[in-house]
Amino acid sequence: MNNPIGEMISRTPTLVLLFALATVTMSIAHASNQPQISLTNAGNSEIDLAWEEKDKMVRVWTEFSNFNPNDGSFAMQIIQSETGKVVSESTINVMTNSENSAISFNTFVLYAINAEDICQNDQFDAGIMSLEECNPLTGQYEMRVSTNDDTGVKSITFTIIDTRT
């Protein structure tokens, strides 16, 4: 004897499982279409203010994937970790002749340590004052790279020290 209610109840867990799998699959597919960013330190993770000017550079190998060229650019911020203060901001412009809606590319992102960015002396003028008069804020900093809409965000840390004193 057929029991339609019993058959429906026995199929319900299967239908719920299929719905759950479809939802997870669509979520993963959607997430994989989001821009992805990967950062790798390509230089010194500790920068000494006593070094020559050319060595005071943070070098980061950056890999972007699923980037839509119509979005135009990425943002880069340098943040002083202790205070949370954004000391520098810039834009990473992407120029391509690709007609694809999602491209992948690699590039170096560089940041030259700038006295004005790390200075604690509000009256500091690099044109007429020495770095010692700046009273630089040493410690841990973060380079944050993100998409314009923050769907992709990665950061890497570096430390600024001063062995001149």
DSSP 138-155: -EEEEEEEEETTSSSEEE
Q: Are residues 28 and 39 in the same domain?
A: no
pLDDT tens for each residue of 86-126: 999 998 877 767 666 677 778 888 888 888 888 888 888 87
| Structural domain count of the chain | 2
DSSP conformation letters of 15-67: HHHHHHHHHHHHHHHHHHTS-EEEEEE-S-SEEETTS-GGG-EEEEEEEEEEE
Q: What is the average pLDDT value for the chain, to the nearest integer?
A: 77
Query: Which pairing describes strands 153-161 and 73-80: parallel, antiparallel, or unpaired?
Result: unpaired
Q: Are residues 86 and 125 in the same domain?
A: yes
Query: Rounded to an integer, what is the distance from CA 75 to the centroid of its chain?
Result: 8
* Phi/psi at 106 (5° precision): -125, 150
Which CATH number fits the domain that encloses residue 147? 2.60.40.2550
What's the pLDDT score for residue 108? 83
pLDDT tens for each residue of 21-30: 333 333 333 4
Nearest to 87 by CA among 47, 54, 39, 120: 120
Q: What is the pTM of this model?
A: 0.72
Residue 64 sits in which domain range? 35-161
Say which amino acid occupies 52: E
